[in-house]
Structure 1
Amino acid sequence: MVRPLNTAALARATGMGWEDIVAVLEAAGGSRLDHGQLAAVAATAFAGRVDNPGWWAQAAALGFEQRIGRRLPGQRADGTFSATASRTVALDRAAAYERVVRHLGAHPGAIAGHPLSGPPRTSRTAQRSFWRADLERGERIELGVAAAAPLAASPQAARALVTAGAEKVPDPAAAEAWRVDLRALLADIFG
C-alpha cells in the first residue's frame, strides 16, 4: 500500500512544523504553483536548515500536492505511479548483479510475466549496476544493485542492496500489483 508523505520526518529534518511549511507554500501562491515552483519556494525556506535543501524541498512540494488533491500518494508528476521492492543479499555487488542478469536472461522477452517491448539494457556506474527494460504496456522496469554497508557483527562479509522498480504504472492498483510482482521476482532470483 502506498502511503502519503511522512510529514513528521520532513518536520524533524527541517526543524519546521508541517503546518508552517504549508503556510510558506500557501503564502507564495500554493495551488497556483507547479511542482518545480513549490520546490523552489521550499528550498529557499529550508536553506541553512538542512544539508540538502533541494531534496527535502521536493518532498515538501510532493506533500503539499497530496494535501491539495493534485497528486495521490505514489503518483508521479506525469500522472503515472511507481512501485519498488528491495532486498539486501549476502553477496558482493558483482555477484549479486551477475545473478540478476543470469536469472533475467533465462526468461528472455518477459519480466514477471509481462512482455518486453525490446531488448533489455545494462549499464554500470561507480556506485550501481543496472538492468532496465521497457514493457509492451508502457511501463519501465529497473533492477539496480549497489554495495550495502556491512553488518557490525560481520564487517568482512560482503552485502549488496538489490532494488527493483516499475515506473510509468497507470494506476494505484497496478502499482500495488507490481509491488507484489517485484517482491516475488527478488525472491525468485535470490531465494
Structure 2
Amino acid sequence: MSGTRDGGATGRRITEKVSADALRGATGRDWDGWFAELDAWGATRRTHTEIATHLREEHGVDGWYAQSVSVGYEQERGMREVGQSSTGDWNTSGSRTVGAPPDRVLDAFTDPGVRERWLPGVVLTERSRQPARSLSAGFRDASGEAGRLSVWLTALPDGRTRLGVGHEKLADAAAVAAYKAFWKERLAVLKALLEESP
C-alpha cells in the first residue's frame, strides 16, 4: 500500500497540516506561490537539502518553514510520499506527555520486564543511551518487523516528561501507517502504566 494524494493510510500531506493562509502569513507566499517559484527554479532536479537551502538563503524563509515548504513541494511533485524521508527511508513517530520523571520513562524501554508490560514481544538492541534524555536502539517485534528506534525525553517543570519516539527504516508506506497506529496505542498504554504505579 502506498501513500496517495490525500495521504491515504500513511497520513496527511504537509499541505493539509499547514494552511495556505498560515504559510502566507509566515513566509509571504501560499503553497501555490511557493510551488510556482520552485518550479521556475528547477527544484524537481534538486535534492531536499538544496531546496531548503535555496528557500533559506535566497528567500529568507526560516528553518522550520523552509523544511516544510521543501517537503510539501516534494510530496506535491511526486518526489516523495507521506512518511518517506528525503533519503527514501520510511519513518514514523509518536509523542506523549507522561506523568513520570524521565528516568522512569526511559527504564520502561530498557528494562525487559517493564517493557514486556506495555510493548509485548518487542526486542530492543540498545545502540546508545543518555540517561534520562535519549535512547537509540534496533527494533524487532514478534512479526519479525525490524527498524531503528529513537527515543527523546524532555523533563517538564511539573515533574512530567515529554516523550518522543521515532521509528525509522521501515519497509514501506504500509508499515508507516501500521506503526503510526501502533505507537499511538502503545504510548497510551505506557502512559497509563507509569501513571498508575509510582
The normalised TM-score by structure 2 is: 0.74
Q: CA deviation digits over 1:49-104, x for unaligned, max 9?
A: x5xx233212111111111111011210121221111111233xxx2332331454
Name the structure 1 match of 2:44.
31
Equivalent position amino acid for 2:151 in 1: L
Q: Aligned to 1:146, which of 145, 148, 154?
A: 154
1:34/1:168 Cα in 2 relative to 1: closer, same or farther (>3 Å)?
Answer: same
Deviates more, 1:9-18 or 1:79-88: 9-18
Provide structure 1 residue ranges, at least 5 long, that are not aligned to the other structure.
151-156
1:77/1:103 Cα in 2 relative to 1: closer, same or farther (>3 Å)?
Answer: closer
Greater share of residues in helix:
2
The correspondence of residues 49-60 of structure 1 with structure 2, limited to 5 A, is 53-60=62-69
Q: Aligned to 1:122, which of 113, 123, 129?
A: 129
The correspondence of residues 9-88 of structure 1 with structure 2, limited to 5 A, is 9-47=22-60, 53-88=62-97
SS class of match (1:78): coil
Name the structure 2 match of 1:113.
121
Name the structure 2 match of 1:164.
165
Q: CA deviation digits over 1:75-134, x for unaligned, max 9?
A: 10121221111111233xxx2332331454124998653444x3353115xxx7012211
Q: Distance in 2 between matches of 1:102 and 1:73?
A: 30
Q: CA deviation digits over 1:7-59, x for unaligned, max 9?
A: 52433321212111112211211211221221122113441xx5xx2332121
TM-fit CA distance, 1:188: 3.1
Aligned residues: 173
Q: CA deviation digits over 1:153-179, x for unaligned, max 9?
A: xxxx33321112201112121112212
Q: Is this contact kept in 1: 2:126–2:135, CA < 8 A?
A: no
Q: Distance in 1 between matches of 2:66 and 2:148?
A: 26
Q: Does 1:187 align with 2:188?
A: yes
Q: Distance in 1 between matches of 2:30 and 2:51?
A: 17
Q: Distance in 2 between matches of 1:121 and 1:86?
A: 20
1:99/1:41 Cα in 2 relative to 1: closer, same or farther (>3 Å)?
Answer: closer
1:119/1:90 Cα in 2 relative to 1: closer, same or farther (>3 Å)?
Answer: closer
Q: Distance in 2 between matches of 1:33 and 1:103?
A: 39
Provide structure 2 residue ranges, at least 5 long, that are not aligned to the other structure.
1-9, 193-198
Q: Does 1:135 align with 2:144?
A: no
Equivalent position amino acid for 1:71 in 2: R
1:115/1:55 Cα in 2 relative to 1: closer, same or farther (>3 Å)?
Answer: same
The normalised TM-score by structure 1 is: 0.76
Q: Does 1:98 align with 2:104?
A: yes
TM-fit CA distance, 1:183: 2.4
Q: Distance in 1 between matches of 2:54 and 2:108?
A: 46
1:66/1:42 Cα in 2 relative to 1: closer, same or farther (>3 Å)?
Answer: same
Superposed CA RMSD in Å reads 2.6
